[in-house]
Structure 1
Amino acid sequence: MPSVLDTLFLIIFILEFTVGIGGNGFIILVHSIDWMKKRKVFLVDFVLTCLALSRILFLWMTISYISLEFFYEKILLPEDLKIICKVLWVGSNYFCMSCTTCLSVLYFFKIANFSHSVFLWMKKRIHKLLLAIMVVAVFSFCKYLILKKMLTKRLVHEWILMTKNSTSDLMEVLYDVLISHIIIHMVLIIFFVVTSTSFLLLILSLWSHTRQMKLHGIYSRDSSTEVHVKAMKAMMSFLLLFLVHYFSHAVMILTYYFPDSTAIKIFAYVIIFLYPSGHPLLLILWHSKLKQASVCVLQKIKCVRDHNT
């Protein structure tokens, strides 16, 4: 019989999953309807749709992986099924992070205002730059498939060879675990650095724009300032959720090397859901088209409810 803590976590899982699927599905629906009406696809809308699709995939794969993780020993399932689910889970995570990085880079080049020749040169080739980010993600995922099995076997071998539970032996193994996962998932660190750099440069662009306005005696916000602020909010929310997301990954990895860590592992999974479930709501709040569409939906729901009552 499940405990109160297990039931609470299950309710949180269901809420986060429902919100994530609903928020990302709403983004896909709004952009799909807009494309059918205008017969034109904007690059920002395309990246947002790919990001929403990647998050839906990541949510489903996370649910599948968690189910196999906790029920694998209770039901008879082939080992290959768990391995395939793990690979697909990591692949959806790479796809999700690469799409988010593309969105941050796109925001930067579309909104920032620099006269440097390198910036202008890269801005004209934004499509190739975004394609390069996706190609890097694909090659990194292939590297993961090659190195994962080899590094896992080495870590398991080191753990088995431990004859004493001394602190030095434990710290040595944990250090190997940390280094191994950094090597495997190096591209995710690169994506975080790229997004952080875009965010800092966008702040620099906003500061330069504000200073130019003050020099001309303008102290109120204009449309360019508002766009800068909205993009910075979206990037900041991603960076914060990114850190929380991978902190939970680190906690989850460490739980494999300690007994009786089920509660901590469940808590880590709850935090993992925050990024793909919470960030779409922030994007809807700060994206004008999505916000307007959400307001229209809420108004129609209110009209239907009032009509029924």
Structure 2
Amino acid sequence: MPSVLDTLFLIIFIIEFTVGIGGNGFIILVNSIDWMKKRKILLIDFVLTCLAISRILFLWVTISSISLEFFYEKILLPEDLNIICDVLWIGSNYFCMSCTTCLSVLYFFKIANFSHSVFLWMKKRIHKLLLVITVVAVLSFCKYLILKKTLANRLVHEWIPMTKNSTCNLMEVLLDILTSHIIIHMVPIIFFVVTLISFLLLILSLWSHTRQMKLHGIYSRDSSTEVHVKAMKAMMSFLLLFLVHYFSHAVVILTYYFPDSTVTKISAYVIIFFYPSGHPLLLILWHSKLKQASVCVLQKIKCVRDHNT
């Protein structure tokens, strides 16, 4: 018989999962229809579609892993199945992070206005730059697969015996575990730094643009300022949600090394779900085409409801 807390967490999971699938699926549907109509797709729409696909994959892998871990905890799952779930979860997470970084970099080079030769050189080669980010994500995932086995061996032969022999070594073991996982998951941190730099440079571009407008006696917002602000909102939301997501990810990892931490682990999973579920709604609000499509859908739903009543 599930407890009240288990039922509450289950309801939250269902809501987050439904919102995430709906929001990301809407982005894929709108961009796919526009692609079929125009027979071409803008680079930013392509990146948004890839990001939505990666988040749907991440949501499905996460909900599957949670179901296997908590609802079938009395069943001894094969080791191969646990490894497959772990690899799929990390792989979808890397895919999601790389797509979000590509989107942030694309926002920066599309909107920012600098006359520096390096900026102009990189802007002309934006496709190659995005390809480099994707390749780095793939190589880092391969590195993760190699180092993961080393980490597991250290857990069995070093950390577990050390904690059994002396409780004084607990903090030392904990620090060692955190350091090892930071090294393994270094690329997501690099993605975060790249997005942070893009965000700061976009602020610098907005400040420069605003100063030029004031020098010409213009004190009201123009279209360029509005575009800067929308892009900065999207990037800031990613940075904040990424920090929460990465912290929750670290909490989930640490709970595997401590008994009686089921509630903490489920709470961390709830927060992890919030990032791929909530952020698509913000992107829809800040993307003009997606926002217009969502308004049209809501209007049609309202018309159908009024007609039925």
TM-score by length of 1: 0.98
Instruction: Quote the residue 2:171 is aligned against.
Output: 171
**Quick one: distance in 1 between partners of 2:128 and 2:280?**
26
What are the residue-to-residue correspondences of 1:256-271 with 2, within 5 Å? Answer: 256-271=256-271
Instruction: Quote the residue 1:213 is aligned against.
Output: 213
Give yes or no for contact 1:158–1:173 (8 Å, CA) kept in 2.
Answer: no
Report deviation, 1:85: 1.0
Unaligned 5+ runs, structure 2: none
Superposed CA offset, 1:42-76 (max 9, x none)? 00000000000000000000011111222454224
Report deviation, 1:155: 2.3
What are the residue-to-residue correspondences of 1:48-59 with 2, within 5 Å? Answer: 48-59=48-59
Unaligned 5+ runs, structure 1: none
What are the residue-to-residue correspondences of 1:1-309 with 2, within 5 Å? Answer: 1-162=1-162, 163-167=164-168, 169-309=169-309
**Quick one: distance in 2 between partners of 1:171 and 1:222?**
55
**Quick one: distance in 2 between partners of 1:34 and 1:214?**
39
Give yes or no for contact 1:98–1:133 (8 Å, CA) kept in 2.
Answer: yes
Larger displacement relative to structure 2 (63-72 or 140-149) = 63-72
Report deviation, 1:301: 0.2
Equivalenced residue count is 308
Equivalent position SS for 1:273: helix
RMSD after superposition: 1.0
Equivalent position SS for 1:18: helix
Structure 1's consecutive aligned runs of 4 or more residues displaced over 3 angstroms after TM superposition are: none
Report deviation, 1:82: 1.3
**Quick one: distance in 2 between partners of 1:268 and 1:87?**
19
**Quick one: distance in 1 between partners of 2:291 and 2:108?**
21
Give yes or no for contact 1:12–1:270 (8 Å, CA) kept in 2.
Answer: yes
**Quick one: distance in 2 between partners of 1:237 and 1:148?**
30
TM-score by length of 2: 0.98
Identity in percent:
89
